[in-house]
A and B are shown apart, each in its own frame.
Chain A
Amino acid sequence: MLLIKKILLTLLLLFVFTSLAKNIELEKEKMRKLAAELRCVVCQNQSLLESDSQIAKDLKELILEMYMRGKSESEIKLFLVDRYGEFILFKPTFSFNNIFLWLAPLFSFLVLSFIASKKLSFFKREK
């Protein structure tokens, strides 16, 4: 009876530890994904994920802690933007200040399409 109890306890502990480890791995993966989208604040053109600087390591640890505490990706991003500004995001958010940046490709596409269609109709008429 005692042996069965011991085996059951070992199995239970094993189950708890593997699920915990799996959970940590999952959160780490989430952290790595987010860190790749963030800029290292002290290096040039390096993501937080790639950087080995002390502050980048601290930030990565903090992101992991926040994920473990159940924070969402947007909450973590907001936390970091509040402290480091939008500079930390590789992909800037859509706002009035950078509307030109976001709409420039669409604007160029429309203008070029307009020119192309005019040119094409001009060539057709020539024929």
Chain B
Amino acid sequence: MKLLKFLPLIIFLIVSIFLYNKIKYQKELEPLSSALIEKKFPSLKIKSLDNNDNINDFIKNKFVIINIFASWCAPCRIEHEVLKSFSEEYTIVGLAYKDSIENIESFLLELGNPYKKVFYDFSGKESINLGLYGVPETFFVNEDSKILYKHVGPINKMEFKKIISGIIH
């Protein structure tokens, strides 16, 4: 009976310790895209602007960075400079989201083209297969077409380098 008196206190202590540990040793916030990480890049019915190449065929057997962008997206303009600075070192592929050919072309003409190839998803439906939240988003895909990382929002140089070194090591 004596023990029973302290039962609420014991439960309180157990719950407190549990919650304290959860807060103290919580993992770093997982990226929003955790559902797709370590999975194979989905098969998409997305074609390139120039010669109707399929995106899945193009990324086969290479390490690629796939950037989803749109000419109407303001953060994409800022991110564009970052992508340009890495375009010599890495294969960056563009995926235009809900855009028109004329607008994509004038966007790339105005700001320069960091992409090895530009694919398009005019309806935006195919990008749902990539778990898209909005533009811009950047995927890091290895030679086996496995998604290693997904960055949501505009990427800066520091983040880009950090992700690359994280992937390599």
Tell me if B128 and A42 are in contact (CB < 8 A). no
Q: Check A55–B35 contact: CB distance below 8 A.
A: no
- Is A68 an interface position by the 8 A CB rule? no
| Set of chain B residues within 8 Å of A62, measured between Cβ atoms | 125, 128
Query: Contacts of B132 on A, CB cut-off 8 Å?
Result: 55
In the bound complex, what is the Cα–Cα distance between A84 and B131 (angstroms)? 5
- Per-residue B-contact encoding for A47-69, CB less than 8 Å = 1, 0 else: 00000001100110110000000
Q: Is the interface of A mostly helix, strand, loop or mixed?
A: helix
Q: Are A55 and B134 in contact (CB under 8 A)?
A: yes
Give how many B residues have a beta carbon under 8 Å from the other chain's beta carbons.
19
Q: How many of A's residues come within 8 Å of B, CB to CB?
A: 18
Known: A58-B124, A59-B128. A82 touches B7 (CB 8 A): no
The answer to whether A81 and B7 have CB atoms under 8 Å apart is no
B11 touches A83 (CB 8 A): no
B49 on the interface (CB 8 Å rule)? no
CB <8 Å contact, B4 and A83: no
B20 CB within 8 Å of chain A: no
A residues whose Cβ falls under 8 Å from a Cβ of B:
41-42, 54-55, 58-59, 61-62, 81-85, 87, 111, 115, 118, 122
